[in-house]
Structure 1
Amino acid sequence: MRRTGLKILAFAAAIAACTTPAAAQLDGNADEAKAGAYQLPDLLVAADGRRVRNARDWRKRRAELIALFEANIYGTAPRPLRQRYIVDEQERAALGGLAVRRQVTILLDGRHDGPQMRVLLYLPAHARGPVSVFVGPNFHGNQAIHPDPAIHITPGWVTPATGIRKGSATLHSRGIDASEWPVEAILKAGYGVATYFTGDLYPDADDKVAESIQPYFGTSASDPQHWGAIATWAWGLSRVYDYLATDRAVDRHRVIVFGHSRYGKAALWAGARDERFAMVIANNSGEGGAALYRRNFGETIRVMNNYWFAPRFKTFAERENKLPVDAHMLIALAAPRPVYIASATEDWWADPQGEFLAARGADPVYRLLGAGELDASDMPPPDRPIQSRIGYHIRTGPHALTASDWNHFIAFADRWLKPR
């Protein structure tokens, strides 16, 4: 059965108190009393019933878990094609001399008339060698993360927001998401930042599969393991890594994958599948990301978007206990690399308690591999980060990606990735 401390139960009451009638209309479960009892599947028992006892056993168990997540939740993504990289624009004194800016088109099949994605990269202008880079997807086009007038405006369909007119980004969309991307602060801390617009690969709406890259790969939407949008976005993060590994100004051994909200789900899955990422960070990722399915709190399988996941996933609605995996296993797939889970006090929809418990549930693998554990048995107070190998914080406030979150992410990277 689940194990919860008194501090966690007290925090759950505080989360429930934050619930508003407007939030309740989202039709998730906001009642902690309705979060049913559960028993998590054992991370360290293989499919044949054998106990995982060492790193070699874990490699086999890890492959089993990846296959289970593909089959039942995210779907199976195709192998990358022979891609090419075109540097469309470069400025060595961007942002008032603070940054080197590169804008790169990835030709996903090597052809100009084939599928492609656009990457925006900022690097510290005065770095003395290759730098660590944070890589994450963005919601409204590369031009939305910063008001820099040189950033190319995305030509693809964009979800409604300021400066988006009839699905198209305009000049007025420049910098609309800048509060989520403190680029200057990241650069001054010695890190680079890279991003791509998810709409290049799969526009973020449930009727856009025909406009995604999926038809190009000829995959069948009727296949129970058909890759969903989250798997597509995660696949895209790995394609960004492919490019970064060719850039001599980037330390390919210290690339950090991160994401917020639904893109936090994609970041966790990208980090699970692609061990080239040195660190994994998920902010307010909720169910389908870091929150436990079996708690049935906040966003549940029944109300989640169909297009995010493999078709088989929805068959587990109202029967989450039948899933062969849960979020603690997803987090554990990052082991022994540093992984950081972030929640927010008012974000009941993402189930902060479930995110913490999943992070705690990944402990056995980290301990097995000699990588430490989550350095807390109970949920910490708001705004007091845990910076152990499995990191965690819960920020005061709503579902968001803030400068405060970034301060914790940078401190975490400083602790575990900075050259010594």
Structure 2
Amino acid sequence: MGSYFVFNLKNYATFYFVVFLINAGLLHAQTALPDPLAMNNWQRIKTSKQWHIQRRKELLELFANEMYGHSPKRPSQMRFEVFDEDKNALNGKATRRQVAVYFNGKADGPRMDLLMYIPNKVKGPVPAIVGLNFWGNHAVNTDPKIRITQSWMESGKGNPYVNLSCVVNNQATEACRGVNAKQWPIDSILDRGYALVTAYREDIASDDPKTGLQKGVHSLYPELQTRDDNFGTIAAWAWALSRAMDYLVTDKAIDSKKVAVFGWSRLGKAALWAGATDERFAMVISNESGAGGAKLFHRGVGENIRRLCTVFPHWYCANFKKYMDKDTILPFDQHQVIALVAPRPVYIASAVDDKGADPAGEFAAAKAVGSVYRFLGKEGLPADTLPALNTSVQGQIGYHIRSGGHDVTLYDWQQYLNFADKHFR
């Protein structure tokens, strides 16, 4: 994994000094890992109060300025409408609820639909897992009553996860129902006593580089897109997860103190930022979120900042582009984003064949953030070396690396549910 020299930067002045040392051969690039427990004034924090009141604020400002962009507050006119409820869904196993979230309060304005399945066998408010999906709410189950999204959908040609020959002119059809159900084992989630809440990414913000930052919620905040710390798409998805949480705190069927936020791949990047910025999420689950998610940029392995900023220019703010080709000498890194979740439980998962996500870099980040958890009186990750394949290690931080490639499998979900049981039951 390599070892890391931990440092702190004051107004980024040290960034250029570190560049000089690396270029002079006096400091190895992979040793320069910034310390999440050191303030901008170089002083190391001494109390948990300092962490919660001062250091968290510094880190949030740093990442909003330099990477994710600044997100707007909850819209004052936002409203919710429950447009469907069936207390006998999935052969009586669940209550299905569908909720329209009108971001500006207008029926013809940007909206996202929440699809909820709540287990009927559990009495009283239940814990929940909330996460965004790639292919529409209708794709997570064959239930014929799920509303088919009207939002844009990529063709899916050659996609290994779903057969999206059901998409016609970038619109979903009836043939799309349940095509992505394998990644969403709803029966297993319900059987363990958890509600599932999901929404489609394109309801919120466009993932098409040609139209990114123009559609969905971005259309409500054009003034934010003129800034270098603009509201990026990853941040928009994270923002929408918080808007889902705004609804969940009003739903008496949900225990809003026990809501985990989940995401896979680019949506795992969004889940981490949602958990970092919104402390109402009691747990964060990152499934192979890779670069810009759970992996360390400083390793210089796998997907890099140049690829993120050129192939997916809408994901992060304009300021992030200045760090292209500087992955190993960044004045920040993703372990500090994970640290913003502390002391709440966080689970990070990798797959051995998912080289772009750099499993070793995800594990290294999980280890690096342990110092913050221990400082706050919690157990970090109970592993010093990368665990064996298909072996879950769980403290306040959980981790596993499974066999296979970039995907979400039943094995992954079983570990997440075990982790949720450990902390929620």
- With the length of structure 1 as denominator, give the TM-score of the two structures: 0.90
CA distance in structure 2 between the aligned counterparts of 1:222 and 1:211, rounded to whole angstroms: 15
Q: Residue 344 of structure 2 corresponds to which residue in structure 1?
A: 337
CA distance in structure 1 between the aligned counterparts of 2:356 and 2:294, rounded to whole angstroms: 12
1:65 pairs with one of 59, 62, 75: 59
| TM superposition shift of 1:210 | 2.1
Q: Residue 19 of structure 1 corresponds to which residue in structure 2?
A: none
Q: Residue 416 of structure 2 corresponds to which residue in structure 1?
A: 409
Q: Residue 98 of structure 2 corresponds to which residue in structure 1?
A: 103
**Would you say the 8 A contact 2:29–2:328 is kept in 1?**
no
Q: Does 1:119 align with 2:114?
A: yes
Q: Residue 44 of structure 1 corresponds to which residue in structure 2?
A: 37
| TM superposition shift of 1:114 | 2.5
1:328 pairs with one of 335, 347, 369: 335
* Number of residue pairs matched by the alignment: 388
Q: Residue 142 of structure 1 corresponds to which residue in structure 2?
A: 137
- What are the equivalent positions in structure 2 for 1:19-418 lying under 5 Å apart? 37-59=30-52, 60-82=54-76, 83-161=78-156, 162=164, 163-208=166-211, 209-304=213-308, 305-418=312-425
SS at match of 2:393: coil
**Would you say the 8 A contact 1:136–1:237 is kept in 2?**
yes
Q: Deviations over 1:386-405 (max 9, x none)?
A: 11110000010000001100
List structure 1 runs of 4+ shifted beyond 3 angstroms.
none
SS at match of 1:137: strand
| TM superposition shift of 1:36 | 5.0
| TM superposition shift of 1:217 | 1.6
**Would you say the 8 A contact 1:94–1:100 is kept in 2?**
yes
**Would you say the 8 A contact 1:68–1:324 is kept in 2?**
no
CA distance in structure 1 between the aligned counterparts of 2:222 and 2:356, rounded to whole angstroms: 35
SS at match of 1:226: coil
**Would you say the 8 A contact 2:121–2:193 is kept in 1?**
no
**Would you say the 8 A contact 1:222–1:311 is kept in 2?**
no
**Would you say the 8 A contact 1:159–1:204 is kept in 2?**
no
Q: Deviations over 1:328-365 (max 9, x none)?
A: 11111110000000000000000000000001000111
CA distance in structure 1 between the aligned counterparts of 2:214 and 2:241, rounded to whole angstroms: 21
| TM superposition shift of 1:322 | 4.3
SS at match of 1:379: coil
CA distance in structure 2 between the aligned counterparts of 1:313 and 1:188, rounded to whole angstroms: 42
Amino acid at match of 2:110: P
CA distance in structure 2 between the aligned counterparts of 1:325 and 1:293, rounded to whole angstroms: 9
| TM superposition shift of 1:86 | 0.4
SS at match of 1:247: coil
**Would you say the 8 A contact 1:269–1:330 is kept in 2?**
yes
Amino acid at match of 2:353: E
Q: Residue 3 of structure 1 corresponds to which residue in structure 2?
A: 3
SS at match of 1:399: coil
Q: Which runs of 5+ in 1 are unaligned?
A: 5-34
- With the length of structure 2 as denominator, give the TM-score of the two structures: 0.89
Amino acid at match of 1:285: S
**Would you say the 8 A contact 2:269–2:292 is kept in 1?**
yes
Amino acid at match of 1:47: N
**Would you say the 8 A contact 1:2–1:39 is kept in 2?**
no
CA distance in structure 1 between the aligned counterparts of 2:65 and 2:330, rounded to whole angstroms: 11
CA distance in structure 1 between the aligned counterparts of 2:123 and 2:59, rounded to whole angstroms: 40
CA distance in structure 1 between the aligned counterparts of 2:350 and 2:153, rounded to whole angstroms: 26
**Would you say the 8 A contact 1:145–1:178 is kept in 2?**
yes
| TM superposition shift of 1:72 | 0.8
Q: Which runs of 5+ in 2 are unaligned?
A: 5-27, 157-163
**Would you say the 8 A contact 1:65–1:325 is kept in 2?**
no
CA distance in structure 1 between the aligned counterparts of 2:3 and 2:31, rounded to whole angstroms: 10
CA distance in structure 2 between the aligned counterparts of 1:281 and 1:220, rounded to whole angstroms: 29
CA distance in structure 2 between the aligned counterparts of 1:309 and 1:223, rounded to whole angstroms: 12
Amino acid at match of 1:3: S
| TM superposition shift of 1:211 | 2.0
| TM superposition shift of 1:321 | 4.0
More relative contact order in 1 or in 2 (CA 8 Å, sep 6+)?
1
Q: Residue 15 of structure 2 corresponds to which residue in structure 1?
A: none
Amino acid at match of 1:257: V
**Would you say the 8 A contact 2:111–2:216 is kept in 1?**
no
**Would you say the 8 A contact 1:158–1:203 is kept in 2?**
no
- CA 220–242 in structure 1, closer or farther in 2 if over 3 Å, else same: closer
Amino acid at match of 1:51: R
